[in-house]
Amino acid sequence: MEVHVQPKTRTKMFCGCAVAPLNAPPNTYVCEICLGLPGTLPVANKAAVEACLKTALALNCEIPRHTKFDRKNYMYPDLPKGYQISQYDLPMSVSGHVEVATRKVRIRRVHLEEDTGKLVHAGDKLHKAWESYVDLNRAGVPLMEIVSEPDLRSADEARDYATELRTLLRAIGASEAEMEKGQMRVEPNISIRRAASDELGVKTELKNINSFRALHRAILFEVERQTQVLESGGRVVQETRGWSEAEQRTFSQRSKEFAEDYRYFPEPDLPPLEVERTWIDELRRNLPELPSVRRARLLDHLPAAQVAVIGADRELADLYENAVARGAPALPTANWIVNEVAPTGKLSPPENLAELMKLLHDGAITRDSAREVYVESVETGRTPAEIVAEHGYAQVSDESELRVLAEAVIDANPKAAADYRNGKKQAMQALMADLRKRAPHANPKVANELLLKLLA
Amino acid sequence: MPLSRDEVRHVAMLARLGLEPGDEDFYAEQLSGILEHIDRLQQVDTEEIPPTAQVVEIASRLREDEPRPGLTQEEALANAPAKVDGFFRVPAIQEEA
């Protein structure tokens, strides 16, 4: 798998142009250097080099003392210089590995390069286009390329590997790795082999994959396609294929004219890079806890399902651990984060979540109220205790008060009550729903017991 | 070994140079001469010399990640042969098989 990741930097790889925000007007984040005008010289961005080194360290790579940049030559309108500055035979790092579930995936290399510009084709489809428009805002934006060895065995594993990379990159602060924003692009190379054989078949490379779901589907499609080609007596052609999200299939992007012949040679405009050992040692020391280590720790006191969600996102894991450190009960807090925080992205300060979890756990408020309190607390920044006091969310557990309510609910729902008495246990749900509508702050456990007692 | 006509055509295509009929032989001879000349370097004994990709004795010159003003869209497009709505306009790329 080849994964391109945009490191978190303010400026481009070899010039001081700011990295353009999404939807910036075309050609407004460009300068003489990234436009490839004559007489200009590139200078490498220290922050991009640092992000690449951190990534390499987190992926257990070796970082050679000497590294250099090379020119990869090809003609394409999105490449203003006629070459891309990349790294060929002396990349920033080599020979790493990362654990994905039970599989150890070897990393061949992590190197630095620059992105190309963007082409917009006039006409409805590429092959019907009559002209193209070029926006060079992205030209020169830094990219790390992470290349793995052929260790992944299925679409599931490929997706899990990509997800793990994203989690890791975010955890170490090397990249935001948002696929939808083009900050992370995955290109799986796919081949199939006969059962009981070690020999890999001819591979195809898939491009234009914009989500983890698309990655999974594209691989499943391509495996099936290659299987059919071979079983019908054909042979798989080594080529690049594009994934069409609209048609849910891959299609050939072959081009005779665009045959690979990159004539790499050392970039004469950039001095070789000698990475100081002291710099690497410092980066290694300051590397935050890696997701795999954190997951192992979370698994000590949480079930795997909760860890899968919380351990995949640094912000969620921080929230969980900080809230628990402030006295929040572990499992209910984990469940709350999985059910209420992860889907909405509404992050509360840990002390507020801890307070809310304690209120809920002590039975001071209902779960329904807790949801409202949580959202309000996140939106206003006020503490859950303040909000509960102000709205009177405090849970009603008083039996005499709830008995009146339960009787009213039974009177108002004679059919459900009769159904329940006749053995239709699920009729209780309708009664409880009505009760909660009448009194959102009623303690559901006490109210339920009262209903059971009255209907007995 | 002299370059073949096919090699000359291939190199010209990669560099997007148009060749007139007969140009192949002319350039094959010229380029072969240059290659022969460069080949003489192979005769030098480099056993004791470390490989280098650079002749300038500087290394690791890095830039702080500080944005600097670039060009305006108008300036960027000033020399473009064709432009439209802030984009460079180029002939279509035929890529589909």
DSSP string computed for A402-447: HHHHHHHHHHH-HHHHHHHHTT-TTHHHHHHHHHHHH-TTB-HHHH
Question: Residues A60, A109: one domain?
Answer: yes
Q: Looking at beta carbons, which residues of chain A come within 8 Å of B97?
A: 252-255
Question: Residues A199, A293: one domain?
Answer: no
d(CA B53, CA B31): 23
pLDDT by residue (tens digit) across B72-84? 999 999 999 999 9
Return the CATH number at B11.
Answer: 1.10.20
Question: Is B97 near chain A, with CB under 8 Å?
Answer: yes
Distance from CA of A188 to the nearest CA of B (A): 20
Considering only CB atoms, A271 lies closest to which of B14, B59, B65, namely B59
Q: Which two tokens stand for residue A65?
A: 């003392």
Q: Is B63 helix (H, G, I), strand (E, B) or coil?
A: strand
Q: Is B14 contained in some domain?
A: yes
Contacts of A248 (CB under 8 A, 6+ apart): A217, A221
Size of interface A-B (CB pairs under 8 A): 151
Question: Residues A355, A440: one domain?
Answer: no
Question: Residues A165, A268: one domain?
Answer: yes
The β-bridge relationship of strands A204-207 and A239-244 is parallel
| ipTM score of complex | 0.82
> Which domain does B28 fall in, by range?
5-41
Q: Is A183 contained in some domain?
A: no
Q: Is B31 contained in some domain?
A: yes
Question: Residues A192, A155: one domain?
Answer: no
Distance from CA of B42 to the nearest CA of A (A): 18
Question: Residues A228, A333: one domain?
Answer: no
Q: Is B37 contained in some domain?
A: yes
Question: Residues A214, A361: one domain?
Answer: no
Q: Is B20 contained in some domain?
A: yes
pLDDT tens by residue, chain A, 456 residues: 999 999 999 999 999 999 999 889 999 999 999 999 999 999 999 999 999 999 999 999 999 988 999 999 988 889 999 999 999 999 999 999 998 877 899 999 999 999 999 988 776 555 565 788 999 999 999 999 999 999 999 999 999 999 999 999 998 999 999 998 889 999 999 999 888 888 888 889 998 898 999 999 999 999 999 999 888 988 888 888 888 888 888 888 765 445 568 889 999 899 888 888 999 999 999 998 888 888 888 888 888 888 888 888 888 998 998 888 888 888 888 888 888 888 888 888 888 888 888 888 877 777 888 888 888 888 888 888 888 877 777 677 777 777 878 888 888 888 888 888 888 888 888 888 888 887 777 778 888 888 888 887
Q: Is A180 contained in some domain?
A: no
Question: Residues A124, A72: one domain?
Answer: yes
Question: Residues A83, A224: one domain?
Answer: no
Question: Residues A373, A444: one domain?
Answer: no
A415-438: b or e for each residue (b if 16 or more CB lie within 10 Å)?
ebbebbeeeeeebbebbbebbbee
The confidence score (pLDDT) of residue A343 equals 87
Domain count, chain A: 4
> Which domain does A295 fall in, by range?
289-391
Return the CATH number at A441.
Answer: 1.10.10
Q: Looking at beta carbons, which residues of chain B come within 8 Å of A68?
A: 53-54
**A126–B56 CB contact, under 8 Å:** no
Q: Is B34 contained in some domain?
A: yes
Q: Looking at beta carbons, which residues of chain B come within 8 Å of A45?
A: 62-63, 65
Rg (CA), chain A: 29
pLDDT by residue (tens digit) across B11-33? 888 888 888 888 888 899 899 99
Distance from CA of A80 to the nearest CA of B (A): 11
Sign of CA dihedral A329, A330, A331, A334: positive
Domain count, chain B: 1
Checking if the pLDDT of B90 tops 80, the result is yes
Question: Residues A250, A356: one domain?
Answer: no
d(CA A179, CA A186): 9
Question: Residues A384, A415: one domain?
Answer: no
d(CA A316, CA A338): 9
Mean pLDDT score across all residues of chain B: 85
Q: Is A164 contained in some domain?
A: yes
**B85–A133 CB contact, under 8 Å:** yes
Answer for the pair A107, A148: CB distance below 8 angstroms, yes or no.
yes
Backbone angles phi, psi at A105, to 5 degrees: -95, 120
Predicted TM-score (pTM) above 0.90: no
The confidence score (pLDDT) of residue B97 equals 35
The confidence score (pLDDT) of residue A254 equals 62
Considering only CB atoms, A273 lies closest to which of B60, B73, B84, namely B60
d(CA A251, CA A208): 11
Q: Looking at beta carbons, which residues of chain A come within 8 Å of B9?
A: none
Q: Is B88 contained in some domain?
A: no
Q: Is B12 contained in some domain?
A: yes
Q: Looking at beta carbons, which residues of chain A come within 8 Å of B14?
A: 73-75, 261, 263
Considering only CB atoms, B53 lies closest to which of A15, A252, A272, namely A272
